Amino acid sequence: MTYVVTETCIKCKYTDCVEVCPVDCFYEGPEFLVIHPDECIDCGLCVPECPIEAIYPDDELPNDQIEFVEINAKLADVYENITEAKEPLPDADNFKDVENKKQFLNIDIGNKEKAPINEINSNTILLYDNGDIVINNTKFKINELSNMDNIIFENTLLDNLDKEKVVCLNVEGKAYHEWAMKIMEFLQKNNFIDVQIKTLK
């Protein structure tokens, strides 16, 4: 058995649950938290901590939330591990009682497919273990981007990507995870229609 974060968490992201998890099995995306099923030890400490009752054992899920077993497993491999509580999303109180919030969650971010390095198309971001970021054949160094203003980096993405087409974010296994998260959050915020993550062979 594992515990599962359900749709109620979307657009809220209260993190009281994170503080009590003894194995740090929560992972954070732009709109949502998930539990990694292979790391959860079924202790249940997180359940009473969630102020909006978004966490269930996988064998007690409401019928309309069963798909979140797969969603948690998929996104836990993409999202960043979170080990300390932080403030909820700014509109959390407005969204906590809203139903049918799955529409706000980009499930495609969890589609991790293998992408051969020699078969990369346009509208593509490559994130390499050595710190290189390649955006449509234009290369940057992460340590150089770290010293740049966020606006400059975001403008670089906007100038090089077509938001009306699928964006492929291709990541090597040991690449800088915080940059993958930064890019994903920016693309979602700017209404890119579809973002797919692939792992580079």
pLDDT at site 110: 43
Segment holding 170, helix H or strand E = strand 167-171
Distance CA 126, CA 103 (A): 27
Tell me, yes or no, whether 32 and 80 share the same domain. yes
Average pLDDT over residues 60-83: 92
- The chain-wide mean pLDDT, for the chain, equals 82
Q: Which residue from 126, 124, 176 is spatially nearest to 146, judged by alpha carbons?
A: 176
Asked which of 76, 105, 134 is the last residue of a domain, the reply is 105
Question: Does residue 92 fall inside a structural domain?
Answer: no
Q: Look at residue 29 and tell me whether its pLDDT is greater than 80.
A: yes
Question: Does residue 50 fall inside a structural domain?
Answer: yes
Tell me, yes or no, whether 128 and 193 share the same domain. yes
Q: Look at residue 152 and tell me whether its pLDDT is greater than 70.
A: no
The SS3 of residue 180 is helix
Burial bucket for residue 67 (CB in 10 Å: 0-12, 13-18, 19+): middle
Question: Does residue 93 fall inside a structural domain?
Answer: no
Question: Does residue 29 fall inside a structural domain?
Answer: yes
Tell me, yes or no, whether 74 and 8 share the same domain. yes
184: left (phi over 0), alpha (psi -120 to 50) or beta: alpha
Question: Does residue 95 fall inside a structural domain?
Answer: no
Tell me, yes or no, whether 61 and 26 share the same domain. yes
Task: Enter the pTM of the model.
Answer: 0.58
Question: Does residue 178 fall inside a structural domain?
Answer: yes
CATH code at position 25 = 3.30.70.20
Tell me, yes or no, whether 42 and 119 share the same domain. no
Q: Look at residue 176 and tell me whether its pLDDT is greater than 70.
A: no
Contact 163, 123 (CB under 8 A): no
pLDDT at site 145: 63
pLDDT at site 112: 43
Task: Report CA torsion sign: 81, 83, 88, 90.
Answer: negative
Average pLDDT over residues 139-166: 71
Question: Does residue 72 fall inside a structural domain?
Answer: yes
Tell me, yes or no, whether 45 and 122 share the same domain. no
Q: Look at residue 27 and tell me whether its pLDDT is greater than 50.
A: yes
Q: Total domain count for the chain?
A: 2
Residue 199 pairs with which residues in a beta bridge?
A: 114, 171
DSSP 8-state symbol, 166:
P
The SS3 of residue 153 is helix
Could you tell me the strand order of the sheet in which 33-35 lies? 33-35, 26-28, 80-81
pLDDT band at 118 (very low <50, low <70, confident <90, very high): very low
Tell me, yes or no, whether 82 and 121 share the same domain. no
Q: Identify the domain containing residue 13 by its residue range.
A: 3-87+100-105
Asked which of 105, 136, 157 is the last residue of a domain, the reply is 105
Tell me, yes or no, whether 115 and 173 share the same domain. yes
pLDDT at site 108: 58
Question: Does residue 154 fall inside a structural domain?
Answer: yes
Task: Read off the tokens for 152.
Answer: 């400059």
Q: Which residue from 181, 197, 199, 36 is spatially nearest to 108, judged by alpha carbons?
A: 197
The one-letter amino acid at 79: Y
Task: Read off the tokens for 98.
Answer: 């809203």
